[in-house]
Amino acid sequence: MRVPRQALLDGLRAFSVAARQLSFKAAADALFVTPSAISHRIRDLEGHLGQRVFLRKTRAVELTEAGRALLAEVEPLLAGLDAALDHAASRARRRVLRVAAPPFLASDLLVPSLRSFYGLQPRTDVEVTTGARLGEHPAQADVSIVIAAAPPAGHVATRLFSPRFVAATAPPVALVARELGARVFEKHRRIVYRHRAELWTRWFVTTGYPGGRSATVLNVDSLPVAITAAEQGLGIALVPTFVCERRLRRGRLVRISDSEIDAGDSYFLVHRPEDRARPEVRAFLSWALSELRR
């Protein structure tokens, strides 16, 4: 007897529940059908198998040897099917939020703060990318954090903060620097982030330190590299205070002067107007303005 696949699945489900309960009525209650429907499904299953899986008695049923063997094989398969359906439903209920940010801000500020966002939005998956061009809101991003002198055109942009820079280094170098004062760069290396080299000129003007030749200079083309070099005691670097807040608070970096300089640009939280209709975007915008804005 050939039975359609859906009927076989219904029959296997009815068989599994009835075998565990040893009752067609209990199986019917569990599956929200009538006892006669359970009986009909199991008869179709037995017809397909060509053998009995239950011994029917007046007030109960018992598994046959073939029924016990079938139950041992079917139970793990039905459990796996249930798990697969649960996972598929869970994926359908989850949302994905794509966030773009500069590499250093992403690693030192955004990602360490995300725990609180997940606490508010446990069913939102976040994808963080760091490869966007400077000042650009990538087409594939739902929300981005960009650094620019002015808000990016054509998007909704909210200013988060303007980075301020301080001269900082490793604790042993900072101790000597405090003693040397304005003569510090006669003895210690200046670390220069090549793309923001003009910040050192502004820092010298602000602090009154002589801006002559340093003992040596380490030029790098990455702000994270400049900060790491300062942490390793290779010299003194200008570091952004807010992004390096944890390093400064924990003493991994120490200021050599209390003076701060404004970088002249700002970090903006950016999104397309139409994306604000999405609940995960609204949630992230609200969270970022509360957590990251200064």
- pLDDT number for residue 91: 59
What's the pTM value of the predicted model, to 2 decimals?
A: 0.63
What is the chain's pLDDT, residue by residue, as a tens digit (294 residues)? 565 777 788 888 888 988 888 888 888 888 888 889 888 999 988 888 889 999 988 778 899 999 899 999 988 888 888 777 766 655 556 788 999 998 888 988 899 999 999 998 888 999 999 877 777 888 889 999 999 888 888 899 999 999 899 999 999 999 988 888 888 888 889 999 998 899 999 999 998 888 766 778 999 998 889 999 999 999 999 999 988 888 999 999 999 988 999 988 999 999 999 999 999 999 999 999 999 888
Residue 58 Cα distances to 25, 88, 260, 292, angstroms: 13, 42, 90, 71
Is residue 17 within 8 A of residue 31, CB to CB? The reply is yes
Domains and CATH numbers, the chain: 5-92 (1.10.10.10), 95-162+266-291 (3.40.190.10), 164-262 (3.40.190.10)
In angstroms, rounded to a whole number, what is the distance separating the alpha carbons of residues 107 and 110? 6
